[in-house]
Structure 1
Amino acid sequence: MDTQRVLAELDALFQRGEYDKVEPFMVDHIVRAEAEGDKGTTLSLLNELMGYYRSVSRFRDSLNVANKALNLLEELGLKNSLHYATTLLNIATAWRADGQTQRAIGLFEEVGRLFLALQVQDAFLVATLYNNLALAWQEAGDHAKAIQFLEAALPISRSRPDAEHDVAVSLTNLAQSRIRLGQLAEARAALEEALQLFDALPRPSGHASAAVAALAEVCFREGRAQEAATLYERALADVEARYGRNQHYADMLESLATVLETIDPARSAQLLAEARATADALRPSLNGLDLARSYYESFRGDLLSDWAPICHRIAFGLVGHGSECFGFDDELSRDHDFGPGFCVWLTDADHEAIGRQLQADYEQLPSEFAGFPARQNSPRSGQRVGVFSISGFYSQFLGAPELPKSDADWLQIPEELLAAACNGEVFSDPAGEFTRIRNALLAYYPEGVMRRKLAQAVASMAQSGQYNLPRALKRHEPAAALMAQAEFVRQACIAIYVLNRRYAPVAKWLHRSVGVLPQLAHLHEPLGQLAQAPAGDAGALVESICAELLQALIAQGFTQPGDSFLEAHVDAILTPNIQT
Structure 2
Amino acid sequence: MPMEFTPGIELSRRFHAEAVRPILRRAFPRIRYTAALIGYGSEVLGFDSPRSTDHNWGPRLLLFPDGDGAGLPDLLADQLPRTFLGYSTHFVTDGEGTRHLAPATGRVDHGVVVAGLDDWVRGTLGFDPRRPERADWLATPTQVFAEFTGGAVFHDDLGLETLRQHVAWYPDDLWRYVLACQWQRIGQEEAFVGRCGEAGDELGSAVVAARLVRDLMRLCLLMARRYPPYSKWLGSAFARLPAAAQLTPHLTAALAGTTWRERERHLVAAYERVAGLHNALGLTDPVEPRTSGYHDRPYQVIHAGRFVTALLAGAPPHALTGTIDQFVDNTDALGDRAFTRRVVDCRHG
Q: TM-score range by the shorter chain?
A: 0.7 to 0.9
Q: Distance in 2 between matches of 1:327 and 1:427?
A: 16
Partner of 1:510: 234
The two structures have a TM-score, normalised by structure 1, of 0.46
Partner of 1:441: 167
Partner of 1:86: none
Partner of 2:83: 368
Unaligned stretches of 5+ residues in structure 1: 1-98, 100-281
Secondary structure, counterpart of 2:63 in structure 1: strand
Instruction: Report the CA distance between 1:525 and its aligned residue.
Output: 4.5
Instruction: Report the CA distance between 1:560 and its aligned residue.
Output: 1.8
Instruction: Report the CA distance between 1:284 and its aligned residue.
Output: 2.0
Secondary structure, counterpart of 1:344 in structure 2: strand
Among residues 97, 101, 107, which one is paired with 1:380 in the alignment?
A: 97
Given that residues 461 and 488 in structure 1 are in contact (C-alpha distance below 8 angstroms), is that contact kept between their aligned partners in structure 2? yes
Unaligned stretches of 5+ residues in structure 2: 100-109, 292-301, 316-349
The answer as to 2:294 corresponding to 1:567 is no
Given that residues 455 and 573 in structure 1 are in contact (C-alpha distance below 8 angstroms), is that contact kept between their aligned partners in structure 2? yes
Secondary structure, counterpart of 1:428 in structure 2: strand
The two structures have a TM-score, normalised by structure 2, of 0.74
User: For 1:388-446, what per-residue CA distance to the aligned partner results, in whole angstroms no more than 9, with x for missing partners?
Assistant: 221122123311243453212210111111111111111121x251111011121x111
Q: Distance in 1 between matches of 2:52 and 2:259?
A: 31
Q: Distance in 2 between matches of 1:498 and 1:286?
A: 30
Instruction: Report the CA distance between 1:290 and its aligned residue.
Output: 1.4
As a proportion of its length, which structure holds more strand?
Answer: 2
Instruction: Report the CA distance between 1:530 and its aligned residue.
Output: 3.5
Instruction: Report the CA distance between 1:559 and its aligned residue.
Output: 4.2
Partner of 1:318: 37
The answer as to 2:25 corresponding to 1:304 is yes
Secondary structure, counterpart of 1:501 in structure 2: coil
User: For 1:202-238, what per-residue CA distance to the aligned partner results, in whole angstroms no more than 9, with x for missing partners?
Assistant: xxxxxxxxxxxxxxxxxxxxxxxxxxxxxxxxxxxxx
Where does 1:18-29 land on structure 2 (aligned, <5 Å)?
Answer: none
Partner of 1:496: 220
Where does 1:32-111 land on structure 2 (aligned, <5 Å)?
Answer: none
The answer as to 2:117 corresponding to 1:390 is yes
Instruction: Report the CA distance between 1:359 and its aligned residue.
Output: 2.1
Given that residues 253 and 263 in structure 2 are in contact (C-alpha distance below 8 angstroms), is that contact kept between their aligned partners in structure 1? no
State the structure with bigger RCO (CA 8 A, min sep 6), 1 or 2.
2
Given that residues 8 and 43 in structure 2 are in contact (C-alpha distance below 8 angstroms), is that contact kept between their aligned partners in structure 1? yes
Where does 1:158-197 land on structure 2 (aligned, <5 Å)?
Answer: none
Code of the residue aligned with 1:287 in structure 2: it is: P
The answer as to 2:266 corresponding to 1:541 is yes
Root-mean-square deviation (CA, aligned residues, Å) is 2.5
Which structure's CA Rg is the greater one?
1
Given that residues 254 and 267 in structure 2 are in contact (C-alpha distance below 8 angstroms), is that contact kept between their aligned partners in structure 1? yes
Q: Distance in 2 between matches of 1:526 and 1:484?
A: 15
Secondary structure, counterpart of 1:356 in structure 2: coil
The answer as to 2:79 corresponding to 1:359 is no
Given that residues 459 and 567 in structure 1 are in contact (C-alpha distance below 8 angstroms), is that contact kept between their aligned partners in structure 2? yes
Instruction: Report the CA distance between 1:326 and its aligned residue.
Output: 0.7
Instruction: Report the CA distance between 1:384 and its aligned residue.
Output: 7.6
Code of the residue aligned with 1:342 in structure 2: it is: L
Code of the residue aligned with 1:290 in structure 2: it is: E
Where does 1:105-254 land on structure 2 (aligned, <5 Å)?
Answer: none
Partner of 2:206: 482
